Amino acid sequence: MRNQISNFIKNVPKAELHLHIEGTLEPELMFKLAKRNNIFIPYKNVEEVKSAYKFKNLDSFLDIYYQSSKVLITEEDFFDLTWAYLLKCKEDNIVHTEIFFDPQAHIDRGVSFEIIINGINNALKKANFEFGISSKIIMCFLRHLEEDSGFNVLNDAIKHKDKIIGVGLDSSEIGNPPKKFEKLFNKAIEEGFLTVAHAGEEGPPEYIWDCINLLKVKRIDHGVQCLKDDKLVEELIKKQIPLTVCPLSNVKLCVFDNLKNHNLKKMLIRGLRVMVNSDDPAYFGGYLNQNLIETHLALNLKLEDIKNLIINSFKSSFLDDDKKNEWIEKIN
């Protein structure tokens, strides 16, 4: 049965809704880009990089994540990064992906918005043409920065509305509440962007409430802290607001001490619209199939549970309804 479920996971068409493209930078590519761009990185080899990937919380990860992102300079770099992830999608049978990017992490180093968006978008177009993989791009605001800086990149995004479906909120959560970005999100909505936000990864349930009420989000990224607040759970179920859960990420960042203690199954049983995603797979030990397989084994998820998780990801995607139904029918 275990093998049967693992095979099902590998072969079924899947969607991914929570994936930071910068978080797919594998150490091998990091070295290649560092050399190409003559950028210093503080590691001698791949083993040394991997042994540095021991995190005690979100912030300890983000320090390394932003540091490593500094090797990304040219349009070709962003293309190569995205293309490498799309090859993983093909391998994992991910047929639709909605990816985050963090422009402020690059613009502040002198890389232009156009270089970033064109590099990413050209790789996505090529994967659509060659592999039939569909995709959406979501631009994230860095919540440790001020709202003004967010307005600057929102103005850039407005010029590229044809490529960007929505805006999100990521980076250091605790101490950077959603209400810091209420005006920015209102402006983004006025401009026609959909909104999502990281909340309840490490932060309290109140941040999830504020994302729903102030930022008008269509999805909550992570949201695993919601079980601390019964009223919030009721609201999330009533409105069927999707929670893009990332199990291996949560263990790597010590949100849960062990995958066996992850609350994904409890959330699923309560009727929350949850699904599995990989977040920053180059840092957290695996891409989507790995996340699904390890979570299935740790939580004893049944075939029906896996099916529900995968159907939830298509339902919660920003695909149009016809396309969503087409994939859901295929899975059933």
Write out the catalytic residue numbers. Answer: 201
**The CA-based dihedral angle spanning residues 183, 241, 59, 140, taken in that order and rounded to the nearest 10 degrees:** -50
Q: How many angstroms separate the CA atoms of 177 and 103, rounded?
A: 20
**Least spacing, CB of residue 252 vs ligand ADE, in Å:** 9
Token digits of residue 167: 């805006």
Binding-site partner at residue 58 among ligand ADE, Zn ion, none, CB < 5 to 8 Å by type = ligand ADE
- Nearer to Zn ion by Cβ, of 80 and 279: the residue is 279
**Least spacing, CB of residue 67 vs ligand ADE, in Å:** 13
Sign of CA dihedral 299, 304, 305, 311: positive
Residues 279, 289, 313, 314: which binds Zn ion (CB under 5 A)? 279
Q: How many residues bind Zn ion (CB under 5 A)?
A: 1
Phi/psi for 137 (5° steps) reads: -115, 135
Q: How many angstroms separate the CA atoms of 271 and 265, rounded?
A: 10
**Least spacing, CB of residue 279 vs ligand ADE, in Å:** 5
Binding-site partner at residue 171 among Zn ion, ligand ADE, none, CB < 5 to 8 Å by type = ligand ADE
- Nearer to ligand ADE by Cβ, of 244 and 289: the residue is 244
Q: Which residues pair with 166 in a beta bridge?
A: 138, 194
Listed in sequence order, the DSSP H helices in the chain are 2-11, 27-37, 46-52, 58-69, 75-92, 103-107, 113-131, 147-158, 182-190, 205-213, 230-238, 247-252, 264-270, 281-284, 288-299, 303-315, 321-331
Q: How many angstroms separate the CA atoms of 147 and 180, rounded?
A: 7
- Nearer to ligand ADE by Cβ, of 277 and 289: the residue is 277
**Least spacing, CB of residue 20 vs Zn ion, in Å:** 5
| Contact assessment for residue 276 and residue 12, using Cβ atoms and an 8 Å cutoff | no
- Report the interface residues with ligand ADE, using CB under 6 A: 20, 23, 58, 65, 170-171, 198, 201, 249, 279-280
Q: Is 75 in the site for Zn ion (CB under 5 A)?
A: no
Where are the strands (E) in the chain, listed by range? 14-20, 94-101, 134-142, 166-170, 194-199, 219-222, 243-245, 274-276
- Nearer to Zn ion by Cβ, of 98 and 279: the residue is 279
**Least spacing, CB of residue 112 vs ligand ADE, in Å:** 21
Binding-site partner at residue 214 among ligand ADE, Zn ion, none, CB < 5 to 8 Å by type = none
Binding-site partner at residue 188 among ligand ADE, Zn ion, none, CB < 5 to 8 Å by type = none
- Nearer to Zn ion by Cβ, of 73 and 142: the residue is 142
Binding-site partner at residue 23 among Zn ion, ligand ADE, none, CB < 5 to 8 Å by type = ligand ADE
Q: Which residues bind Zn ion (CB under 5 A)?
A: 279
